[in-house]
Structure formats: C-alpha cells, structure tokens
Structure 1
Amino acid sequence: MAGTVWSALQGRELEMGPGIAPSWKGKNWLLKRDADDVAWLILDRAGESVNTLSEAVLSELDECLGQLEARPAKGLVLRSGKRSGFIAGADIADLRGMRDAKKIKVRLNRAAAVVNRLDALAFPTVAVIHGFCLGGGLELALACDYRLALRGASFVFPEIKLGLHPGLGGTARLTRLIDPLEAMTMMLTGRSISPPKAKAVGLVDLVTEERHILAAARAAVAGKIKRSGGGLRARALSLAPVRKYAAEKMRAKTQEKARQEHYPAPYALIDLWARHGGAADLFQKERESFADLLVGDTAQNLIRVFFLHEKLKKLAADHSDLRHVHVIGAGVMGGDIAAWCALKGLEVSISDLDHTGLAKIAKRASDLFSRKLDAPAERRHALDRLILDFNNLGVERADIVIEAVPERLDIKHDVFRAMEPRMRREAVLATNTSSIPLEELRQGLQRPDRLVGLHFFNPVASLELVELVRHDQSSDDAVARARSFCGRIDRLPASVASAPGFLVNRALTPYLLEALTMLDEDVWPETIDEAALRFGMPMGPAEVADRVGLDICLEVADRLKESVDLLPEVPTWLRDKVKKGELGLKSGKGLYEYSAGKPKKRDAAPEPDDAMTDRLVLPLVNACVECLRKGIVADQDLIDVAMIFATGFAPFRGGPLHYAKTRGAEAVVTALQGLSQKHGSRFAPDAGWAALGESFDPIS
C-alpha cells in the first residue's frame, strides 16, 4: 500500500504543494503541509482513471478532516491528483438499482455530513480545479471558501440527465453563491460552463494558469482574492413572492421540453427552490427529494442508459492513426460529416461534382464552429482544416474515404469505381448508406475487404450514434479502424450486420409508415404527433418525417418494402408530394407548413388515445425483436442504446426492449395480436418474442 498515492504524484506538471512526505494518507487521499502551515489535500482515487466520490472516498475524507480539526492549518488547498480533471461526481455505480428510499437518505445524510464538515472548517479553504468538475465534485468545491479555475476547466451539474438533481447541498450553496436564476439554469439544463463564464457569474474567484496556482492559492488563503456576491437580483429572489413568480416561469419553460410525468426531476428542483430557497431546511429537503427521485423508474432507467452509453463509448476508444478524412458528396449529410470531423481536429477534404454544393458547406461549417467553439482562433483553425476539394485530390492522401452521395446504387457504384484505384492501400472505404446492403455495394470493388458502412444520423452534430456496418468480407482491420475513427470524432459506433435498413431504419420505418397510414385515414398530424409525445418521444413521427425529408423517407420505405413483408403500403399521396417538391422542412412544406424552421400546427386537434400510441410504437418494438432474432444486432442492450441515441426513443423508458420488459413480453404480444386483428398482418408478433419472453428481466 505504501506509496500508492504518493508515487502517482511524482513527476507531474500539476502543482501539488510541498515535495515532502505526507503527514496523513489513505488509499485515495493524502495530506501534507507546507512551510507556511498551509495544508494540501490531494484526491487520487486508487485504481481509477478519474476521481469519483464513492462511500469509501468520502469516509477517508471524513477521517482526514478530523485530522485537520484536531490540528488546524493556516489554510487548506483541495485538488485532484488526476491529470484528467477534478472530480467526476458521485460513483454512479453506487446508485444503480437502489430502490429503498430510507436507506438512500441514510447514505445521503452521511455523505452530506462530510461535505458540511469541510464547509465548517475554521480556516480558509481553496478548491483548485482543472479539467472536469462534475456533480458531487462541484458540490465539494462549493463547500470551499474559494474556487480557482485553470483555463480549460468545465463546470457541470449533470444530475438532471440522470433523472436527479444535486443531493449534497448543491442546490442550496449554488443558489446562495451566484444569481439564483443562473444557478437554476445551470442545474436544470445540465450544460457545462467555461471558466470565463464561471468567473463572470461568480462561481469561481479566479481563472489562471497552472504556473500561477501556488501564488494564487497563497493569495486566497491570505484573503487577497475578492469573492463575488449574488447581486441585486439575488437579493430580490430571496423574497418568496418573487421566487414563486420566477419558478412559475421556469416550470412553463421546462414544460416545453420535458413533461413532468416523464421527467419529474426538473420540476422537483424548481419546487425545492421555490419553497425552500434561502431557508436552512433546503439542505435536508434536497436530500429527501433526491432519494425519492432515485427510487423512481425514470432515474433508474436513465442511469441504465448512462452505463450503456459508457460501454459503447469505451468500445470506440481512439487508438487510431487516422488523420485525414475525404468526404465525397456535398449534400447536407456529407457537408455536416465533414464539418464535424474538422471540428474534432481532423484534416478534411470534401468533393462533389456540383461545385455550388461545395460553396454552401463553408457557411454551414462556420455556423457549427460558432456554436461549438468559444475562441475565435479555434474557429479559424477548424475552418482551415476543412478543404473544399474541387479537383477531388484529397482521396489520394486520405486515411478514410466516406461516400455520402444520394441513396442510389448506381451512383454509389460510379463513385466507388472512380475512387478506389486512387485510394491508399491501407485506407478505409466507408459508405454512409442508410439502407442499401453492403453486399450490393461491394460488387465491382477490387478490395471489398476494406469496405464498411458508417451510417451517420441527421443532425450529425446532435446525434451521437453511428451504425458501423460490416459484411462477411469486411476485414477485422477495416472494422477496427472505422471504430477507432468514431472514437476520434466522439461518436458511438453500434456494430450491426449488413441487412436492409440495418437496425435503426429497419425499426423506425414501420413507426413512420404507420403514421402516414393514419394520415391516409384522415387522422390529423397534430393528433398523431401528440400520441408519440405522450409516450415520451422527443418529436412526433409526422414532424420527424418532415425533418428527415419525405423524399428520403420514400426512398428508404421503397427499398425496405422489397425485402420486408410486414410494412404498410406507401400512400400514393406521399409520392405525389415528393413529385411536387413538398419534401418537408427543407422545402418549407411537407406534412406541415414551416415558418422560420418551425411547423405550423393547429390548436384544435382531436386528442389521441392509448390505442393510437400502441399502433405507432409497437411495430418499432416488434422490428427490434426481429433484428435481434436475425442477428443483425448482437444483444438487447445495443438495440436499446442505438434507438435512444439515433432516434431519441424515450430515454426515460430505457429503450424499446427495456420498455417491453417493463410492460411485460406477454402483454406486448397480446397487444400486437389485437392490432393485427384490427389493422392487418403487419402487426403480427415476430417469432423472436417466444425466445425473449422467458429471458426478459425488467430489473436489468
């Protein structure tokens, strides 16, 4: 055990105080004092690449704080010994499967007592923050008197994305430290803020460089750094009537994005602040609310989704030497793929026979970089990495070539014939096809082993999932390089076998086509969309179809109809709309008319019923079971995570197959049989339900 933490700190660039043996150390923490009697407390969790607050970590901290109380220091500097960042919040593994609210409250009270003990130390305390500072880590930092941030740090309360809110005093401390509206926005959105923003709102007291940390920490201990206050609005919001009015506005804004019956956490957080903001009991009420949320289905399902996301992310670890990407096709998808790769630091060239399309890419890319990159210099560098390749020269230097031309087999074959002889021998050839089996695309290739599918979803910058498609001649090396490429650009590769529509479009098409069939029966699009929204979809199928493009929906539906029997017929009026150029959002008119990018929806639409929701959702679930039975996807978890991160399938339900587990396989089959009797054989339960029924475990 000797030296576990201490040896890990040797030779690092991080300022860790005096280079002397610690006066106290545990498995995860060490404490040492400099010549001025300033204590340095370092967290370097054993056996982990990042710091998290487990029960053991907090128990050790409690012991260390006892040492400091027994022998007070002139000041305390708290920092991380991990180069990756400060503290990534609580250990989420500890929260999974917890369903006893009383036991949770006991644990929270114990953890909060440690944080409060830090807060109550009788000498100045300084948190030095580099890299990420998340959730419980930020709550620990808030318990210190000063917060010093390194450039590049980020501050986030991500609990809302797990169906929770802060539980170790964050709600009380943040709303007292800074403008309460800024604090609530930060907690309700789960968005990160940068050091300059954190300094501007008063969350941190100083933004500096690593080389100045020692001097800055000494200045903080000496009281020479000015601390920020909440300002006039903070004082106004300390009045209950003003706070109640602000809370009502927050609820209304939250309702536009998340329904309370689906996502109770933001509403619980607003209620906490509205009723107890500024009061001493907010700390206790926060813990009680956190425990009640944690035992609920929403939080447990979202925690499960978090672990599935992390599992897929680890599979995409970037061990790649890919540096140059060449994209062929300057449409929306090709342009957005190219811009995203440039944003992520790769050199990118993009070509298209239509030079007009190339000219539009720079504007779209510039808009993306303005949204995603703070510094003007970073935006310029990203634009410099994006090369409009009018002569298609980049293909000869590229490590990976991505084809993103229209979804026609003949056009894609023409591109492959022209490009393949010019590619480097080790380069990967990737297609962004959304539905064409790779067995058809590989025909005529000299090296079919290096062909893989990389199916991105629109919008590329928002949807993390990429279907990584392999065929029976794909080499392991090509697949591995494609997977690493996904990791390089922060995307999640879901491995699927080559089949019509792969997974996502195969499952999504019956959902969208059923909505079109309802429209053919004179059901209002607003009613159909509301049925999906009540289930928990982020957007209704009519609006999704418009955003995808009715022409694309028609292409995919026609191709799948060739090989999938149980699909509704494509309505004739849809073909007519496509012929007239009424393609949806991109043309300004589709199933809805659009103004400033938003659909014009009627207010008096009839209310949907539960049967309508089943009619939309269960064909999607049924198709997922079919994909699992046919081996298109390896396991149930991958289906769930793919459908959530590619289509937005109600995350709080845990994915389509997890939803089926919760509802009960027999109940779903019975519902499908009822729909089949009423609406036709397209609802017939897949043969895979028989095997799945016994294996479904709603707890997993």
Structure 2
Amino acid sequence: MIAHNATETPNWSFHTDLEKIGWLTIHSPEGSVNTLSREAITELETLVGQFEALASSGQLVGVVLLSGKDSGFIAGADVSEFDTMSDPSVLTEALTRTHALFARIEKLPVPIVAGIHGFCLGGGLELALACHYRIAVNDEKTRIGFPEVNLGIFPGFGGTGRSIRQAGPVDAMQIMLTGKMLRAGAARGLNLVDKLVRHRDMLRWEGRKAVLQKRKSSEAGLVKRAVALPLVREAVANKMREQAGKKARKEHFPAPYALIDLFQKHGDDWKAMVRGEIDAFVPLMGSPTATNLRRVFFLSESLKKQGLKGAKFSRVHVIGAGVMGGDIAAWCAYRGMSVTLQDLDMERIKPALDRAKKLFSKRYKKRREVDAAMLRLSADPQGTGVARADVIIEAVVEKLEVKQAIFSGLEDKMKPGAIMATNTSSIELERIAEALKDPARLIGLHFFNPVAQLPLVEVIRSRFNSDEAIGKGASFAQAIGKSPVVVKSAPGFLVNRVLMPYMLGAVERVERGESKEVLDAAAVAFGMPMGPIELMDTVGLDVGKSVATELGHAVPEGSQFARLIAEGKLGRKSGEGFYKWENGKAVKGETPERDDLAKLGRELVKPLVDMTEVVVSEGVVASPDLADIGVIMGTGFAPFLGGPMKARADGRA
C-alpha cells in the first residue's frame, strides 16, 4: 500500500491510501493502554484540521480510526492529569477545547469510522460516539462503557448527550450512573455500536466498506426518546434519584445526582445536554469525593505492579469444600484454572459444586460456557490433584492443629515450585508452619467472603518467606483477577485485625439494648456498605468468635452472641443470627428516626480507624497507603473518604 499525506506524532499516525481513505491510528507512547492525554488531544486538533483541508480539496473520502495497541481502543482520558486540572479555569478551558474538537469531528463532510477492540471506555467511547459509525470486535475482550462515576465524575467530553442520542435516555443514563462495562453485543443492542465483526483483523476491511458506502449511525427511535419529553422527564429523573439513593447517598457520591439534574434540565435535547455538561462537570472534579476516589484508583492500580514476571499457573488444588474453600475453587475455575476440590467425601463436596454452578450460570451468558467451567472444577476426595497443582490452598476450619496436620502430609506430595498456601483468617503462619520440614514454603492467601465479589487477597508473609515466594503469591492473586496486598504474619493480619474491634464494639452495644437496625443504619450513613451487625451475620458468628478469640477478644458466656452460636444460629449461612435471613437478605425491623446517624456512625467506625493506625505503626503493612487500599477492598470502608488513614488525616473519621 502506498501511503500519502503521512503524519506521525507521539500519539497518532495518519496516512491516506490510493482510494483516498485516511487511516488514523492512536498509539499512546506510555503504558499498555491508549489514553486521551492533553497532548493527544492537541495533536488530534491539528490532524482534524488536516482532514478538513484534504476533504475540501477532494483528497480524502473518509477516515478510519483504529488502535495500535493490543489492549484495546482507548481506555479513557489520562487520569494522571486530573489533579493538575482541578483548577476550575484550567478544567473549563480544557473541556471547552475538547468539546469543540469533537464537534468538528462530528461535522466532517466525509465519514469517520471508529474500529473498536478491547477497552473502549470513558473519553474513548466519547470520541467513538463523535464518529459517524462504529464497528466493534464481538469477543470477550471488548468492553464498552462510562466508568467515570467510579472516579466521582461523569462523562465530560460530550458523552452524556451523544449516548442519549444513540441509546435513548433510560439506557444511556443507566450506563453512566452505574459505570457498567458492556460486551460488544450488548453495546450493539443499545445502538452504541453499529456493526460487529468476529476478529480484530476484520476492522480494517469493514472500516473501508463503511467509508466507501458513506454509512452513518442512526439515532434512537421516538419510543425510546419519549421518556425524556417534558411531561414525563421529571418523574423519570425522580425514579433515577430513588434508584441512586439505594446505592449511594448524595453527600457521599454527588456525581450521579448531578448527572440526573443535568438530564432533568436537558434530557430531551442531546445537544443542550452536551452544552450543559461542562458547568455541571467542573465542580465535581475538585470535590473531596473525586479527589479521594482518584487516590483510591491509583492505589488499586499500584497493586497490579506486584508479583513476579513470567509466573504462570494453570492447576489449583483446594482443600476444604466449605463456603470459603468451595467458593475459592469456583472462582479459580471461573477464571480459567483447572481446579480439584478436596474434602472428606462427596457429600461434603457436592454443595460446593452446586454453588459453583450458580456462580457460573450468573456470570456466563451461554450454557456451553457454564458446562466448560464445570468441567474445569472436579471433586477430589482422595487428593490426587495435589501432585499436579501449581497452587495448593488450604481452607478448612480455623483450628491450628487441623491445619498443621494437613500441611505436614502435603510437603512430599507437591511438585517443586508449587505454592503452598493457607486461607487462615487470623492464625500466624509461623505457628502453622511448625510441622513443616521447610517452613519457608508456606504463605498465606487470605480471601474474603463473598469471594466472587470482594477483590482483596491478603498475601501473608511469615518471617521465613522469601521475596520470590511472596511475589509468586501476588502473581497468582492477579492471575485470578484479585488485588493482592502483602501483609506481615500477625494475629488477624490487616483486615480482620481492624474489623474485629468495630464489629465487637457494635455487638456490645446490642448486648446493652441498643437497636441493631439503628447501629447498621448509622454505619451506612457514615459510608460503610453495610452495618457491623449485618456484617457479623454475613461473616458468620462462629467465624467471628473464632477470630475474636484468636485476637484476644473474649465472647462472654451468657451473652446473646454466645447464645446464638450455641443454638446454631450462625448468621446468613444458617438462615438466622442477629437477624433472620430470607433469600440472602437480612430481615430488618423499622429503624427509628434519628438526626445524629452520621455522628453515631463515626463513633462506631472509630475503633476500626484507631486499629488501622496501630497496624501501620507495627509494620503489618508497609505503608499507610497500603493500609487504606487494603481496608477499602477488604471491608468496603467508605472509598470517598480515601481510606481510614486518609479520613483520619482529613479530620473526617
């Protein structure tokens, strides 16, 4: 192919071919993903000027926009630049400039077609929506969406109005309010994508056809747009606020509510919504919520840099088919590992297999995918999978002598280099490793319940462990899509150590006659995802008592806590604890009205924050930053506060 009008910049390459089709490729110089940095946008302004000139002189019949990176199209704006744009005047100028650029792209007299593979998120999707036609690869790697709400903002490059134009107000607002990432097929169904192809190498051919045939995307139909008409829009907006309120309070996460306000003003006119976007967006960027959520984002990204390069895992053996062990095994199978699950007999393993099938059925769209996942997970009462496993995880009852007996029988059966790990929630590794010939081989991989939802794995390091052993543990956590935080072997490690004073303090209040519903509501008002009593029921009262005892907290005989355990009322898993549970949800009584819920919530959370400071001072984690991200991921601690250490430093906890 002979290239004409060739232009190379740090972020883009452009040329035209013999058919006068322009080929524009983004290739951000830093990192594995493309981002729309301010430099990239400035370069694109110049290139668009070139397109306009070539089109007016008849030298350009259209442009196909592609990505030069394997990871995907464009992952969004460059988040690392956000702090430098917290000044309202700087941000307003940058947004105004980008809006004008995207409007020019939309007004090009020749078709511009976006070819999407992999990640197409945030500002990347906004750029694609400014193009005239969108083609996406229909495979598992393609993800399309607006995750900005997770950073305390909403789309700011015109995506609010353009997504409503394409998908209709209800679907578009739902995508923006939830931050949900869509598969290619779902995006096509919502009219965010116009054409699907099977492979990335088909994007060029389909892009060429789209240009030559002057294809243009159609807008959402009248029926979809009707809910934005003035007579119904206020009711629709109020329903959206009600739904948003079930997930987040306005004072904690203002972005969804600001977006709904913008929709209520301009939802029937997508261009007016785009024009109103900047004024609504700017105050959010510099807010404490957005600032802290950006911090949490960078902390979570930093966890991905841990681990050993080149470490690979394909086979996992889990010992213990209870709730934790069974769910760890199911998650590993879901993430593509071959898993053997061991317990005393099939009667104990079968419930875990049944739960695994429910997980796969919920996560996968196709029956054959569910069947394939079930084939990756096999019952192994005899433990034959030990010899072949790359990773062995023990997840039995939290009793030292039981764990020691299991590991003492494993050493000679394992292959060299395999990870030997315990899922202990509180026992120091040095004590478990006493029975081993090589205590340096045992590490901790502490998962959290429910395994499929909570992203954290504590990688526990004993005084015997090498950097290589801990690096392999962190690499395995990443291989199954979890976020590893390395913690020192100490009673309770990080998360349980800080959680126990918080939960037991609330239980003591209940013992004194305070309302469990009020206490839980107060914690939620502070910003916790659920209250401490509901959390104790979720963890399991027996597990809570075991961890409390290990950490030196007594559970008094004759207390309600002890009585419930004695009666087998262990919380969610048994159907009753402090609450009765129906269909996986706590049945709660009326919560009395109180004006001081947030203040009470802060009192309830104080022991957690205090203990986090102690844990950091003892060196259980390497830094306050790691403590913050670990406690957020392991407990759901209010992310808009930046973590317990940041909240204490800011005077907010």
Answer whether contact 1:44 1:51 (CA < 8 A) is retained.
yes
Report how far residue 282 of structure 1 moved: 1.6
Q: Secondary structure at the match of 1:561?
A: coil
C-alpha separation in 2, matches of 1:319 and 1:569? 50
Counterpart Cα distance in 1 of 2:408 and 2:186: 51
Aligned to 1:405: 396
After TM superposition, the structure 1 = structure 2 runs for residues 138-149 of structure 1, keeping only pairs within 5 Å, are: 138-149=125-136
1:36 aligned to 2:19?
yes
The residue identity in structure 2 corresponding to 1:118 is: I
Say which is worse superposed, 53-62 or 236-245, in terms of deviation. Answer: 236-245
Aligned amino acid, residue 178 of structure 1: A
- Kindly indicate whether the alpha-carbon contact (under 8 Å) linking 2:430 and 2:439 is maintained by their aligned counterparts in 1: no
CA positional deviation for 1:59: 0.3
Match of 1:283 among 259, 274, 286: 274
Mapping 1:120-519, distance limit 5 Å: 120-152=107-139, 153-209=142-198, 210-223=200-213, 227-279=217-269, 280-316=271-307, 319-519=310-510
SS at match of 1:121: coil
2:366, 2:587 → 1: CA distance? 37
Percent of paired sites with the same residue: 44
CA-CA distance at 1:437 after TM superposition? 0.6
> Quick check: 1:196–1:207 contact (8 Å CA) kept in 2?
yes
1:622 corresponds in structure 2 to 610
Identify which of 103, 121, 124 aligns with 1:116: 103
Task: Please list the CA deviations of residues 44-93 of structure 1 after superposition, one character each: whole Å capped at 9, or x if unmatched.
Answer: 11233211001100000000001111111211111111111000100001
Partners of 1:235 and 1:604 lie apart in 2 by: 39
8 Å CA contact retained: 2:520, 2:534: yes
**Aligned counterpart, 1:13:** none
For the 8 Å contact 1:520–1:571, the answer to whether it is kept is no
Contact 1:516–1:571 (Cα < 8 Å) also in 2 = no
* SS of equivalent residue, structure 2 residue 206: helix
Deviation at 1:96, TM superposition (A): 2.4
| Greater mean alpha carbon deviation, residues 203-212 or residues 391-400 | 203-212
- Paired with 2:228 and 2:639, the residues of 1 have a C-alpha distance of 35
Counterpart for residue 577 of structure 1 = 564
Relative to structure 1, the CA distance from residue 604 to residue 439 in structure 2 (aligned partners, 3 Å threshold; closer, same or farther) is: closer
Q: Residue type of the partner of 1:134?
A: L
Give the whole-Å Cα distance in 1 for the aligned partners of 2:229 and 2:497. Answer: 55
Hey, what does 1:696 align to over in structure 2?
none
Whether the 8 Å CA contact 1:159–1:166 is kept in 2: the answer is yes
Give 2:20's aligned amino acid: D
Could you list the runs of 5+ residues in structure 2 that have no partner in the other structure? none
Is 1:591 paired with 2:574? no
Give the TM-score, by structure 2 length.
0.95
Q: Distance in 1 between matches of 2:155 and 2:558?
A: 49
Aligned mates of 2:162, 2:419 — CA distance in 1: 52
The Cα shift of 1:323 comes to 1.9
Residues 22 and 30, structure 1, Cα contact 8 Å, conserved in 2: no
Whole-angstrom distance in 2 between the partners of 1:62 and 1:488: 39
User: Following the alignment from structure 2 to structure 1, what is the Cα–Cα distance between the partners of residues 385 and 203?
Assistant: 45
- SS of structure 2 residue aligned to 1:71: helix
Distance 1:651 1:446 in 2: 43
Whether the aligned pair in 2 keeps the contact of 1:28 and 1:45 (CA below 8 Å) is yes
- Determine helix, strand or coil for the equivalent of 2:240: helix
| Deviation, structure 1 residue 354 | 3.8
Which letter does structure 2 place at the counterpart of 1:645?
Answer: M
Question: Match for 1:116: what amino acid?
Answer: A
| Structure 2 CA distance for aligned equivalents of residues 154 and 547 of structure 1 | 32
Per the TM alignment, residue 224 of structure 1 is displaced from its structure 2 partner at its CA by 6.7
Asked whether 1:559 is paired with 2:559, we answer: no
Shift of 1:318: 6.0
- Deviation, 1:214, is 3.3
Q: Label 1:62 to 1:542 Cα distance change in 2 as closer, same or farther (>3 A).
A: same
Is the contact between residue 172 and residue 278 of structure 1 (CA under 8 Å) also seen in structure 2? no
For residues 501-536 of structure 1, the C-alpha deviation after alignment (integer angstroms, 9 at most, x for no partner) is 001000000000010011012110111011101110
Q: Using a 3 Å threshold, how does the CA distance of structure 1 residues 568 and 241 change in structure 2: closer, same or farther?
A: farther
Q: CA deviation at 1:226?
A: 7.2
User: Separation in 1 of the partners of 2:535 and 2:463?
Assistant: 33
User: Where does 1:64-83 land on structure 2 (aligned, <5 Å)?
Assistant: 64-72=47-55, 73-83=60-70
Q: CA deviation at 1:218?
A: 2.7
Q: Secondary structure at the match of 1:41?
A: strand
SS of alignment partner, residue 629 of structure 2: helix
Q: How does 1:682-697 map to 2 (within 5 A)?
A: none
Is residue 64–residue 208 contact of structure 2 (8 Å, CA) maintained in 1?
A: no
The C-alpha deviation readout for 1:369-421, integer Å capped at 9, x for no partner, is 22223343333222211111122100111111100001011111121122222
Residues in 1 aligned to 2:213 and 2:634: alpha-carbon distance in whole angstroms = 51
Residue among 62, 68, 78 paired with 1:91: 78
Shift of 1:215: 3.3
Q: Distance in 1 between matches of 2:234 and 2:300?
A: 37
Asked if residue 605 in structure 1 is aligned to residue 592 in structure 2, the reply is yes
Distance 1:214 1:104 in 2: 35
TM-align CA RMSD:
1.8
Post-superposition offset of 1:97: 5.7
Matched pairs, number: 644
Q: 1:583·1:589 contact (CA, 8 Å) conserved in 2?
A: yes
Q: 1:648 aligns with which of 636, 641, 645?
A: 636
Question: Counterpart amino acid of 2:237?
Answer: A
Distance 1:592 1:409 in 2: 30
**Partners of 1:97 and 1:571 in 2: how far apart?**
58
Unaligned 5+ runs, structure 1: 1-17, 669-700
Distance in 1 (CA, whole Å) between partners of 2:614 and 2:188 is 53
After TM superposition, give the deviation of residue 316 of structure 1 in Å: 4.1
Determine if the alignment matches structure 1 residue 634 to structure 2 residue 617.
no
1:100 partnered with 2:98: no
Shift of 1:22: 5.6
Rate the CA distance shift 1:45–1:303 in 2: closer, same or farther, 3 A.
same
Tell whether the 8 Å contact from 1:513 to 1:570 is kept in structure 2 after alignment: no
Structure 1 residues 511, 161: closer, same or farther in 2, change over 3 A? same
Offset at 1:487?
1.4
Q: 8 Å contact 2:35–2:77 — kept in the other structure?
A: yes
How far the C-alpha of 1:584 sits from its partner, in A, is 0.9
State the alpha-carbon separation in 2 of the partners of residues 201 and 469 from structure 1.
Answer: 45
Local SS of the residue matching 1:599: strand
State the Cα distance separating 1:200 from its structure 2 match: 1.3
C-alpha deviation, 1:604, in angstroms = 4.3
The equivalent of 1:663 in structure 2 is 651
- The aligned residue for residue 44 of structure 2 is 61
Cα distance 1:200–1:228, how it changes in 2: closer, same or farther (>3 A)? farther
Contact 1:557–1:570 (8 Å) recurs in 2: no
2:181 is paired with a residue of what secondary structure?
coil
Shift of 1:42: 0.8
Deviant stretches of 4+, over 6 Å: 567-571
Q: Does the residue aligned with 2:339 lie in a helix, a strand or coil?
A: strand
Q: Normalized against structure 1, the TM-score is what?
A: 0.89
Amino acid corresponding to residue 442 of structure 1 in structure 2: A
Cα deviation code 1:24-54 (max 9, x no counterpart)? 2212111111211111111111233211001
